Every structure is written in C-alpha cells, then in structure tokens.
Amino acid sequence: MTSDTVDLFSDTALAERVQTLRQQLQHHGHRYYVLDEPEIPDVEYDRLFTELQALELAHPELSSADSPTRRVGGAPLVQFASVRHAVPMLSIRTETDTLATGAENFDARVRRELGLTPSDPPVAYVAELKFDGLAMNLRYENGVLVSAATRGDGEVGEDVTQNIRTIRQIPLRLNAAAVDIPPVLEVRGEVYMRRDEFEALNERQREKIAHGAKGEKTFVNPRNAAAGGVRQLDPAIAAQRRLSFFAYGLGEVTPATQGGPEFNTHYDLLMTLKAWGFPVAEQTKVVRGAPELVAFHQHMGETRDQLPYDIDGVVYKVNALALQRQMGFVTREPRWAVAHKYPAQEQLTTVLGIDVQVGRTGKLTPVAKLAPVFVGGVTVTNATLHNEDEARRKDVRIGDTVIVRRAGDVIPEVVSVVLEKRQGQAEQFTMPRQCPVCGSAAVREEGEADYRCTGGLFCGAQRKEAILHYAHRRAVEVDGLGDRLVEVLVDANIIRTLPDLYRLGLTSLAGLDRMADKSANNLLEAIEKSKQTTLPRFMFGLGIRHVGEATAKALARYFGKLDAIMNASEEALLEVDDVGPVVAQSIRTFFDQAHNREVVEQLRACGVTWEEGEPAERAPQPLSGKTFVITGTLPTLGRDEAKDKVEAAGGKVAGSVSKKTDYVVAGAEAGSKLTKALELGVKVIDENQLMELLNGGA
C-alpha cells in the first residue's frame, strides 16, 4: 500500500481499517498456524499483513502490542506441553517484489545501515533456499537430542519431540567423530515434505475416502501435510508422513569457553552443522553484492520446479556475524536478512465452468475452467478436480471463488472454496454417465474413485493408447509401431480406429515426416504379419479393463471361440478360472457397447484371424489354483516361455512374492524375490521341478 492510498482514509476509517486487518490476520493466522486449515493462499495473507504494516508505520498512534505485526506466528496447541525458547525464534522480513529489484533494494539497505560508500567492496551474503515447511528448534545436550519444539509465537512453542524423532534426517545423537560440539546446542531448521511423498500421501488419502473411511481428507499442500504430521499426538502417524529436515541456524549455544567453536561467518556455522550430521541444502552458497544476489534468485527461480521439494523464495543473510550484530533488529525482524519471494503458487480466482476430460486410458477427470490467474510463474486457466468424490468433498461449484495451486510440474488443482464469497445457488457437480467424447457409457467400478469410458476401441480420446496396446509384443504385435509413429498417424487423422491400421498404404505412409520407403514397407509387412494371431493375444489386445494376458488365456481355453466370449453372461464368465465379479462385469460392459463390437467385426473383415476350437475340457489342470513367481535365469526356458507353460497348465504367474505364493521358480542370479521366499517359507523349485509339476508330478 502506498502513502497516497493511506492518506485517502479519514481518521475514523483508518482506525476501523486497521482493526479489520488485525481481526482478519488473527483469524487467518489461527487457521494457518494452529489448525493447519488455511482459508486463503499465502500471497493473500502477505498482502493483508503488508497493508497493516504500512498503516502502522505511517500512523504510529494506531500501533498496538497485540497487533499481528508484533508477533511471529501462531499459538501452541493445548494438547502439547509448552516450551519457552531460550532464544526467541524470530521471523525475517519478506520481500514481495519478485523481480531483481527486490534483491537490489535489500543490498542497498544493508549498505546504508553499514554506512558503506559506492567505493567500498561488495557485502558478502549467504544465499539460501526458503523452504515451505515448519520451523523447528532442536535442542541437544552433550550431543543427544533431548527436545524439539515448534516456533509457536516465537517465545513459546510446542513440544513435539516424539514426532520429530521419526524424521530420519534428524540425528538423535550427533556425529561421534565431530569435534567442538558444545554441551548445549540448539539447531534451527525447517521440517518439510518432499513432493513425491506429498503426492503419495494424498493418493493414499483419496483411496481411503473412496472406500468410505470417515474423517479422512486430502491435504492442501506439502507444508500443511508436514505441519499436520508434526502436530500428531500419535508418533506412528507422524512417521507415516515421511518428513524431511534442513538446518539453517542456531538457537541457544553454550559459550565457546565451555566447549564449542566460535563462528565468524554464517556460512562457517552452516558447514559446521553439516559436519556435525545435519542436512544443509546443497544450493546454499556465499555471494557478493547485488548482482550475485540477483543471479542466485534468478537461477533458483528457473530451476525450482526440478527441486524435489517446494520453495517459495530464497533467503539472503549478511555472512559476517560481526556485521549482523552491528545491524541488529527492528521490532520482530533482523535488519541483516530478508526472504525474497517468487510468484505465488497459490492464488484466488473464479470458477467459470466445470468440464470433463477423458484421458488416454478412458479415465474421466472433472476440470475447473478458471478466470485466468498468474500462479506459480504461469497463467492458469484450468485446474483438476481429480474425480467426482473430490469435487463434491471440496464442494466446488460454478461461480465460486477458489484457491488454485500450482507447484513444480504438478498439474494445477483447486485446493478449496472460499465459502464466504459464494453467491447464488449453483448445483453440485455430478459426473456424466456418458463419455463426453464418444457417448459410450461411463462406469465406476466398486471400490474405484474414477469413472471410465467403456468405448475403448471407439473413443477418440483413447485412440493412441488403444493402438499402442493392440500392437504390443504380448498382444497382436505390430513390430515397429511405437509411440512416436502412432502419435503422427493419429494426429494426421490417418488412423481413427484400429481397423484403419489394416487399411494403410505405401502412399499414406511415405508422405509422413522421416518415413522412408524402406521403413514404410517394413511397417506394412509387420501389419500384414499381425493378421495371423491367437485368440488369447487378440483378446488381450482389445484392452478390456482388468483383462490381462492370463485372463485372456483362461477365457480362450474355457470358451474356445470369440463369439462365445462376446455373448457370455456374467454368470458364465464367473465359471472361468481367474475371472471374478469385477472382471466379469468389465468384459460384459465392454461387449455390450455396440461401438466395440463393430470394431471387432471390422478387424475380422480386414483379415485378422486366429485358430478357434471347441471349449477345453473342464477337468482340473495340473497347476490349477497355484500361484508362481519366476526369478533369475532358467537353464533352457525363457521367462515368457515359462510363464506361458504355467498359465497353460492353469497356474497364475505373479510379479512379487507374498504369503499367497505357492512356488518360486528360481534360476541363476535370483535376487530379492528368492530372499523374500526364504523369509516367508515359500517353496523354492528349479526348472526341472517345474517341468515335473507341469507333467502332473507332485
């Protein structure tokens, strides 16, 4: 806020605005720091805070001891014991100017504070990352972790020692080989959650919600998930969050006269912490003067999406500790440090509509169409709502004001709705029961969170995936038909459905970029060869959900002919080994779609053929009901050949060893699967013993 804007307020209006800002900041601070349930993005909180700070600076008579500008953070939760910090955990000033001028202005302020002239050498700084996590104070006595406390309000925090002990990056005892470790050492840093761990956590949460678990929720962002993990009363839950830690400073340290090093620079301090066993971000470096501050900010801004964790800016600190002491503090912040922000990764915007997109595998995803908003360095107009359950849980409706988030390479998503800004009575979102691309039925299987289009062979959105699956070497197999070529053929509208593959000619292929006559001829020969296949390969190639190779073989053995499979009832399908209710329903739904039957008939008309026979005898097969795992190199059988023999004899081949595994077939250089089998007491056999079983031996 500018001074011109401030002057527009009357005295009464000014006081009311200050009071309103304080109430808003206290409310949102409580939601953010204490409840871990923010209602507004960080950038909005920062805007309110900056406005209040500007008003109080311009009008000191309106200052108050209980103003949020005089505090550091939130209050401790009552469930945890309180810890009074021996040295207050103060925050640093935030520079919201995300351009190079933000760094240049900080350097200019430092030089003024130190009384430096243009002819004096540049100031040395330590440039660090600004992690998006939870500040933590770790107290060590005689090298052993004795307590861990959150920042709290800066003076008093929460004792979260048991939860912090679950973070493997935090040493419980300092490196025994390290020297000069003081008797009392408080290390300060950030507890955070990696992006991959965050995505995995939310995926687990969505599965729980989909299966009807009560009281479960997905998390807004990694910072919220980390804070919630630290504040769990049950350390086992904290351990499941798989949190991480970076060190960046010190709290109380016994004087050097009682043991412990004397530091001259902040960088020396960080490198000593690293030697003592604490993780320090490898990007931390010493820079000199404004140009190098700008370069660091720019470089990290360009590469932040490649980091495995979130940052929302970088931090600059005067390196020399003597200069830090000379500059001192102002109110709640050190003069010698600043956090230089990047464009916000969360912003407010409006939902203009909700569309449904169909993915390559038929998954239907609701997508919010947004009023354009600049977030995470790009302009965002679409954000995922994941699935119907998530859209309903968040209660996103057309016209709502929402928080949208974009971090790293993660697809932008709607985090939550600002309900206080809702206007009108828009209806809740309901997933359509027909595919918006091809009109086929959209179904949601029991226990699944997603709706899927059933028109796999017909649906334009699934065209590329359907062709690639059909051409796979374990399916019908079209040698030389890979991702890039399928992309070109579909994008050029040369192939619209699978039968078009068999209508390709040399002329249409030769006109493609980088497709020479020889390559075109080779592909045509592979397509012609693929016409001679087997019923199991063809069934697998159709891409019916849940129908893998083993199931396709079981169906072919049981029914003998494709028409018998296509016309079988769910009850008849359930008679087949390896076919349960979900698989039976999926097969029936697939062949109930007229589009899919038409594609099958066209493939037959194009010359795709296989041998058919009478249904197999219903007598039990030698390996019926047995589960095998094949590992290592067998003397004479390839792994695929061994798998085919097991499945032909009624057995099932799994990819991992469990208590349900009956046999592990081990060859040369068998690895972890053999070890797991021995641990679980699963019977281990060699190739000769497998052949005996295949021949009906015990």
Catalytic amino acids? 130
Q: Are 608 and 538 in contact (CB under 8 A)?
A: yes
Distance in angstroms (rounded) separating the CA atoms of residues 107 and 109: 5
Residue closest to 338 by CA, chosen among 105, 124, 43: 105
Q: What is the DSSP string of 381-432?
A: EEEE--SHHHHHHHT--TT-EEEEE--TTSPPEEEEE-GGG--S-PPPP---
Give the pairing of strands 333-334 and 337-341. Answer: unpaired
C-alpha distances (whole Å) from 110 to each of 154, 284, 317, 326 are: 25, 20, 10, 11
Please report which helix (H) or strand (E) contains residue 157, including its range.
strand 156-158
Give the pair of three-digit tokens for residue 294.
């700008």
d(CA 271, CA 260): 14
> Exposed, middle or buried, 115 (CB in 10 Å: 0-12/13-18/19+)?
exposed
SS3 content of the chain, % helix, strand, coil (to 5): 40, 20, 40
Q: Between the CA of residue 534 and those of 288, 408, 561, 562, 569, what are the distances in Å?
A: 70, 46, 11, 11, 23
576 and 554 Cβ atoms separated by less than 8 Å: yes
178, 274 Cβ separation under 8 angstroms: no
Question: Do residues 318 and 125 lie in contact, with contact meaning Cβ atoms separated by under 8 Å?
Answer: yes
Q: Is 636 exposed, middle or buried (0-12, 13-18, 19+ CB in 10 A)?
A: exposed
